[in-house]
């Protein structure tokens, strides 16, 4: 008997270079049941918009006021029949109506081992700078479910790496990006595949 498998549709929220978005798009390009169908970005001209173009994925450019008005962009997400949101370098806090519309269906990646070095203002090189300054010898990545509080939802995966005495924020960022690219797509796949709603 033929069985119909409904595609799970991902929107990636990203506003930076988009290297994680690219790895995720590539990973799911020929996947049988998961597909990246939309890039949501708050910075026109960000690297991720070029990547979306390259893979012919539509980009939704969002505006701050409308985004924080609550449910303005929900209509757009429903229009694209989105099932899961994946944040990959997206810095705005997700408004409650969107979190409620996608219960346990929003994932984020953080470039440190939460709960340390998380929260507002802890992004990009600020995180690596703080880790180096604190004299940590290990750091890593955390993949977590998004709730109403910055970097607070349940961590579903983490991986670690060394912090070397000679590290700069750039060398540490490169080591972290390596881990992110290696693990984020697969963790997303596992999470969506096993999501029990
Ligand atoms: C990543 O380091 C991620 O952990 C953080 O933002 C960065 C995005 O990098 N949330 P890129 O745009 O995917 O290259």
Atom of ligand 1 nearest to the CA of 22: 13
Counting ligand 1 atoms within 8 A of each CB, the residue from 12, 26, 111 with the most, and so the one to mutate, is 111
Take residue 182 and report the two structure tokens written for it: 């290696």
Q: Which strand (E) or helix (H) includes residue 140?
A: strand 138-145
- Asked about 110 being catalytic, the answer comes back as yes
For the chain, the 3-state helix, strand and coil shares in percent, each to the nearest 5, are 35, 20, 45
CA geometry: angle at 185 spanning 110 and 40, to 5°? 70
Q: Which whole-number Å values give the CA distances from 132 to 138, 154, 167, in the listed order?
A: 10, 25, 8
* pLDDT of 3: 61
Q: Which strand (E) or helix (H) includes residue 110?
A: strand 106-110
Q: Is 136 in the pocket of ligand 1 (CB under 6 A)?
A: no
Counting ligand 1 atoms within 8 A of each CB, the residue from 89, 90, 117, 144 with the most, and so the one to mutate, is 89
Give every CB contact of residue 107 below 8 A, 6+ residues apart in sequence: 84, 85, 86, 87, 143, 144, 145, 146, 156, 187, 188, 191
Q: Indicate whether 144 pLDDT > 70.
A: yes
Distance (angstroms) between ligand 1 centre and the Cα of 159 equals 15
Q: Indicate whether 153 pLDDT > 70.
A: yes
Q: Is 40 left (phi over 0), alpha (psi -120 to 50) or beta?
A: beta
Take residue 176 and report the two structure tokens written for it: 């972290």
Q: Which strand (E) or helix (H) includes residue 65?
A: helix 64-68
Q: Is 15 in the pocket of ligand 1 (CB under 6 A)?
A: no
Q: Indicate whether 1 pLDDT > 90.
A: no
pLDDT in tens, 16-57: 999 999 999 999 999 999 999 999 999 999 999 999 999 999
Q: Whose CA is nearest to atom 6 of ligand 1?
A: 89
pTM for this prediction? 0.95
Quickly count: other Cβ atoms within 10 Å of residue 31's Cβ.
14
Atom of ligand 1 nearest to the CA of 109: 4
Cβ distance 105 to 192 under 8 Å? Answer: no
pLDDT in tens, 75-131: 999 999 999 999 999 999 999 999 999 999 999 999 999 999 998 889 999 999 999
Counting ligand 1 atoms within 8 A of each CB, the residue from 14, 41, 88, 182 with the most, and so the one to mutate, is 88
Question: Cis before residue 143, ω within 30 degrees of 0?
Answer: no
The 8-class DSSP code of residue 142 comes to: E
Q: Which of 31, 78, 110, 177 is catalytic?
A: 110
Residue 72 confidence class, pLDDT cut points 50, 70, 90: confident
């Amino acid at each position: 008997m033929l069985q119909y498998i409904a595609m799970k549709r991902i929107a990636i929220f990203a506003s930076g270079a988009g290297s994680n978005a690219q790895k995720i798009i590539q990973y799911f390009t020929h996947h049988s049941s998961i597909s990246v169908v939309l890039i949501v970005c708050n910075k026109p001209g960000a690297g991720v918009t070029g990547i979306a173009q390259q893979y012919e994925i539509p980009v939704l450019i969002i505006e701050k006021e409308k985004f924080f008005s609550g449910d303005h962009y929900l209509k757009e997400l429903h229009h694209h029949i989105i099932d899961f949101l994946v944040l990959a370098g997206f810095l705005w806090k997700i408004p409650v109506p969107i979190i409620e519309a996608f219960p346990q269906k929003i994932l984020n990646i953080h470039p440190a081992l939460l709960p340390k070095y998380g929260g507002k203002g802890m992004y990009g090189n600020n995180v690596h700078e703080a880790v180096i300054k604190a004299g940590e010898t290990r750091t890593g990545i955390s993949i977590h479910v998004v709730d109403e509080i910055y970097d607070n939802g349940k961590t579903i995966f983490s991986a670690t790496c060394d912090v070397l005495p000679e590290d700069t924020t750039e060398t540490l960022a490169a080591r972290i990006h390596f881990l992110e690219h290696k693990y984020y797509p697969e963790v997303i796949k596992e999470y969506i595949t096993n999501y029990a709603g």
